[in-house]
A and B are shown apart, each in its own frame.
Chain A
Amino acid sequence: MTRHTARVSRTGLLIIGLILLLAAGAVLARALAASTSVLGSSTAPVLTHTQVQYPTQHSWVWPVVAAVSAVIAVLALWWMKAQTSTKTVRRLPLEPDHVHGTTVLRADAATGAITDELESHPNIRSADAALRGSRRSPGLRLDVTAENRGDPAAVRRSIETEAIPHLRQALELETIPTVMRLQFSRAFDRHLT
C-alpha cells in the first residue's frame, strides 16, 4: 500500500542522509582540528604514501572492494524496487480450507465488478480499482472521477454504502482497508441528461 512504500522511501532516505552527514561531519571535524588527539592532525595529507601503496601490496583489497560495492549496488536496487512496487494482488484465495481444496478468485474479476458498478452511477465518469497488499487481507485502492455538477455526497454514499460492501461480500472479507481518491471532471457525461 502507499503507506508501506512511504515508509520504505523515508527510512532509506534517513539512513543514507545520516551516513552522508556523519561521514562529512567527521571529515569536517578533522579538517577544522576539532579533536586532534582522536582524529589526527588537520595539516596531514588526506592520503599518505603508505595508504596509496597498500592495495598493491595486499591482493585482498580489490576483491573485497568489489564485493562490498556489489552488495551496496544490490541493496540499492532492492530499495528501488521496494519503493516502486505497488504490491498488486492478482489472485485471491476464497476458501481458507486447504483440506478440501482452495478456490481462487482472479483479482481483476473483483475489481472489474466494482468499477462496473461505480461507472453505472450517473454522476461517476470513470473509476479504477486495485487490490493491494497481502492476499489474505488485501487493501482496496479506488480512483473515482465524479461529474462536477453532480452531488458528491450522493456519490460518496453509493460508494461507501453499496460498492465497497458488495466487494466485501464478494471476497468474503470482514473489512477491506480502502483508500479512495475522489476527483472531479467537468465534461458532460453521457449518463447525465
Chain B
Amino acid sequence: MSETGGQRGQTIVIPAPSGPPRQERTDVWTPEARHKARLTFRPRRTIPGVIVAAVVAAAGIIGCIWAASAALSHPLWNVPHSDFAGPLQSTVHWDGTGTLLVASAVAFVGFLLILIAVIPGRTRAVPLATGEESVVIGVPRRSLRRSLRWLVQDVPGIDKAKVRARRGTVKVRGTTRLRDTADLQEKVRKTVEDRLAALDPLWPMQVKVKLRVKEKEG
C-alpha cells in the first residue's frame, strides 16, 4: 500500500505543455467553489420526485372521478356512496392492529421521503477545479473509474485492474504476473496520479494501489 498525493503541495504539478499556466491551488480550491460544485453535482432526486408526483396525481384523478360520480348519484364503483366507508364503520377502531399497521407504514414512507429530500447524497460526479467562478466541471464517477482502469490496464505487467473512486481516495486493485511488484506499484500509482493531476480535482485525491501476484499457470 502506498499513499501520496494527498497534500496540496504535491498535486500542484499540472502538466502544461502549452497555454497559460494554471492558477495556484489556494486560489482555485475555495470553499465557495467547492460548495457550488457540491450543489451542482449532488443527486437531484428527480426519480423519487416524479414517482411520488405520479402517485399523488393518480390518486387525485381517481378521487376526483369517484367523488364526481358520487355527487351525480351514479357511483362508478359498486361501493354505494352512502356507505363509502362500510368496512371501516364501527368494526375498525383507532387502537386496532390494522390502524396501527397502516399508520406506521404511512409514517415510515413519510420519514423516508423526508430523508430523501434532506440528505445531500454523494455527488454524481467528481468536481474539477476551474479557474473561473462561472464554470463548474465534473467527471461522472463511473467515467472516472473506467478511465483510470483503462490507463492502469495499459501499464505493462498489469493483467487486470479494478478502480474505486470514493470521496478523496482512489483505490486501485490490480493483478500481475510479475514478481517484482514494488516497481510496478510505483508505476501504477504514478499513472493514476498523473491523470488526476491533469484532471485537477477540486479536492485532493489520495491514491492507494494494491497489487496481487498471480501465479503462472502450467
- Residues of chain A touching chain B, judged by Cβ–Cβ distance below 8 Å, are 2-3, 5-6, 8-14, 16-25, 27-28, 30-33, 40-49, 51-53, 55-56, 59, 62-63, 65-67, 69-77, 79-80, 83-84, 148, 151-154, 156-157, 160-161, 164, 175-184, 186
Contacts and interface: CB of A to CB of B under 8 A. Distances in A.
A17 to B, nearest CB: 3
Interface in B86-132: 86, 88-96, 99-100, 102-107, 109-118, 125, 128, 130-132
Interface residues of B, number: 87
Interface stretch (B133-141, B162-170, B173-181, B202-210): B133-141
B67 A65 contact: yes
Given A62-B71, A80-B54, A148-B150, 11 more contacts: A9-B50, A22-B110, A23-B110, A27-B99, A45-B91, A62-B70, A75-B60, A76-B56, A77-B53, A80-B50, A80-B53
Interface of B: 14-20, 39-40, 42-46, 48-50, 52-54, 56-57, 59-64, 67-68, 70-71, 81-86, 88-96, 99-100, 102-107, 109-118, 125, 128, 130-132, 134-140, 143-144, 146-147, 150-151, 195, 198-200
B53 A24 contact: no
A103 to B, nearest CB: 24
A164 B109 CA distance: 45
A173 B201 CA distance: 28
B60 A156 contact: no
Given A53-B82, A55-B82, A152 B195 contact: yes
A43 B107 contact: no
Contacts of A75: 56, 60
Contact of A180 (B16, B44, B135): B135
12 contacts: A12-B49, A24-B106, A46-B88, A47-B89, A49-B89, A49-B90, A55-B82, A72-B63, A79-B49, A84-B46, A156-B128, A175-B134
A79 to B, nearest CB: 5
A84 B111 CA distance: 24
A47 B138 contact: no
A171 B98 CA distance: 63
A43 B60 contact: no
B72 to A, nearest CB: 8
B139 A178 contact: no
Main SS at interface, chain B: helix
B50 A182 contact: no
Contact of A16 (B52, B85, B104): B52
Nearest to B88: A47
Given A53-B82, A72-B56, A152-B199, A84 B50 contact: yes
Nearest to A143: B140
Contacts of B88: 45-47
B83 A11 contact: no
Contacts of A3: 39-40
A20 B106 contact: yes
Contacts of B70: 55, 62, 65
B134 A178 contact: yes
Contacts of A30: 94
B60 A70 contact: yes
A175 B133 CA distance: 10
B153 to A, nearest CB: 10
B57 A5 contact: no
B19 A19 contact: no
Contact of A21 (B60, B67, B93, B110): B110
Contacts of B115: 17
Nearest to B62: A69
